[in-house]
């Protein structure tokens, strides 16, 4: 627990670094196409370290995420055999194409929007959107709406409740760490056994 606490404190410290915004953009871009770590991991401590910049950080996440989503779409559309299949295999979705195609046919942009808000790996959705040749305008609008809601809601909560959240995390760090891993494992179990 102490090592995790030190890591948390270090991330908070690094998130206040003047160049952190560039890393935030890069992580946001890559997460929407190939990278496994969501930008929320960096957005949260950056907003906590500098609450006045919370909405700026959310905008950086949104821009990086939407542009990265377009790159993910291109991977699915142009480079599926070369790159896309490996990424889908990594997340266990290589055999789910027909099911996803049915969701896209039925829900279109709403499916992208729902996935963009949730912790579901967004890169899977962006790549699949390219594979099924979803309308690009619908894809971009859905991405802007969902990712914007996700990042700006998080930034707004951290901006408003910042000092309280800092005290809460300091006081209940061990419990929150355990709960995080329970939810993480539960999420993977749902993906594996339900979806």
Query: Residue range 110-134: average pLDDT?
Result: 88
Q: Is the pLDDT of residue 195 over 70?
A: no
pLDDT at 136: 95
Radius of gyration of the chain (CA): 17
- Residue 168: pLDDT band (50, 70, 90) is confident
Residue of higher predicted confidence among 179 and 152: 152
Q: Using CA atoms, how far apart are residues 104 and 119, in angstroms rounded to an integer? A: 19
Residue of higher predicted confidence among 117 and 57: 57
Query: Domain residues of the chain, as ranges?
Result: 1-162
pLDDT at 158: 87
pTM for this predicted structure? 0.78
Q: Are 47 and 57 in contact (CB under 8 A)?
A: yes
> What are the tokens at 119?
């912790």
Query: Residue range 1-25: average pLDDT?
Result: 74
Q: Tell me which H or E stretch contains 11.
A: helix 2-15
Query: Residue range 141-154: average pLDDT?
Result: 95
pLDDT at 59: 98
> What are the tokens at 102?
């049915």
pLDDT at 97: 72
- Residue 167: pLDDT band (50, 70, 90) is confident
pLDDT at 60: 98
Cβ neighbours, 10 Å, residue 143: 29
pLDDT per position as a tens digit, 50-109: 889 999 999 999 999 999 999 999 999 999 888 888 888 887 777 777 777 787 888 878
pLDDT at 38: 82
pLDDT at 137: 96
pLDDT at 190: 64
pLDDT at 92: 77
> What are the tokens at 74?
């291109």
Residue of higher predicted confidence among 13 and 58: 58
- Cα 44 to the center of its chain, rounded Å: 12
Q: Are 28 and 60 in contact (CB under 8 A)?
A: yes
């Amino acid at each position: 627990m102490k090592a995790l606490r030190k890591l948390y404190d270090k991330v908070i410290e690094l998130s206040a670094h003047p160049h952190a915004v560039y890393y935030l953009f890069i992580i946001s871009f890559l997460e929407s196409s190939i990278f496994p770590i969501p930008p929320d991991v960096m957005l949260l401590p950056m907003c906590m370290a500098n609450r006045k910049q919370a909405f700026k950080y959310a905008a950086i996440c949104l821009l990086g995420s939407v542009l990265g989503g377009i790159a993910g779409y291109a991977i699915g559309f142009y480079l599926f055999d070369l790159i896309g299949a490996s990424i889908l295999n990594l997340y266990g979705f290589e055999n789910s194409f027909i099911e996803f195609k049915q969701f896209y046919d039925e829900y279109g942009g709403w499916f992208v929007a729902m996935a963009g808000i949730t912790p579901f790996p967004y890169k899977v959705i962006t790549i699949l959107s390219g594979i099924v040749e979803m309308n690009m305008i619908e894809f971009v609008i859905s991405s802007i709406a969902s990712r914007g809601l996700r990042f700006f809601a998080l930034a707004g909560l951290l901006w408003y409740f910042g000092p309280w959240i800092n005290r809460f995390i300091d006081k209940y760090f061990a419990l929150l760490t355990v709960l995080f891993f329970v939810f993480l494992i539960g999420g993977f179990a749902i993906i594996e056994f339900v979806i």
